[in-house]
Amino acid sequence: MRDTNFLRASLSRRSLASGMSKTLFEKICDREIPGDIVHEDELCVCFRDITPQAPIHLILVPRRPIPRIAETVVEDEPLIGHLLVTAAKVARDQGFADAGFRIVVNNGPDGGETVPHLHIHILAGRQLGWPPG
């Protein structure tokens, strides 16, 4: 596995080199702003949402910023798969997998996206209704 500090530095340089400022989620991943982190690995970070929409509301983000799911490419497939497997792992580790949970990916303004950095909402802790929204 790659050295995590090298990966973080590489991601930060990529954002800065592209002329983009860091997203809120990049700043949490890089510990520039605080976050209640429940899981992290070389590819992603999971933390509690500061405005929870359910008793348990976690945000799972890739360290490498991708603006939204509609902008993924085939090369992102392993990362997207890793995010889904990690969502299940976090649910098990946090003790709510058996009771059930929902994962949500918002895309664009009409989809409810507020941060242009692909992320998965993990919602649990109560019966979730259908349809959402």
Q: Which of 57, 117, 119, 121 is catalytic?
A: 119
Q: Is residue 62 part of a domain?
A: yes
Q: Is residue 132 part of a domain?
A: no
* Residue 20 confidence (pLDDT) above 80: no
* Residue 26 confidence (pLDDT) above 70: yes
> What pLDDT is recorded for position 19?
55
CATH of the domain at 36: 3.30.428.10
Q: Is residue 129 part of a domain?
A: no
Per the annotation, the verdict on 119 as an active-site residue is yes
Q: Is residue 25 part of a domain?
A: yes
Q: Is residue 109 part of a domain?
A: yes
For 67-84, the pLDDT digits (tens) are 999 999 999 999 999 999
Q: Is residue 133 part of a domain?
A: no
* Residue 35 confidence (pLDDT) above 70: yes
- Total number of domains in the chain: 1
For 40-51, the pLDDT digits (tens) are 999 999 999 999
> What pLDDT is recorded for position 131?
87
Which domain covers residue 79, as residue numbers?
4-124
Q: What is the pTM of this model?
A: 0.83
> What pLDDT is recorded for position 3?
40
CA atoms of 119 and 123, how far apart (whole Å): 13
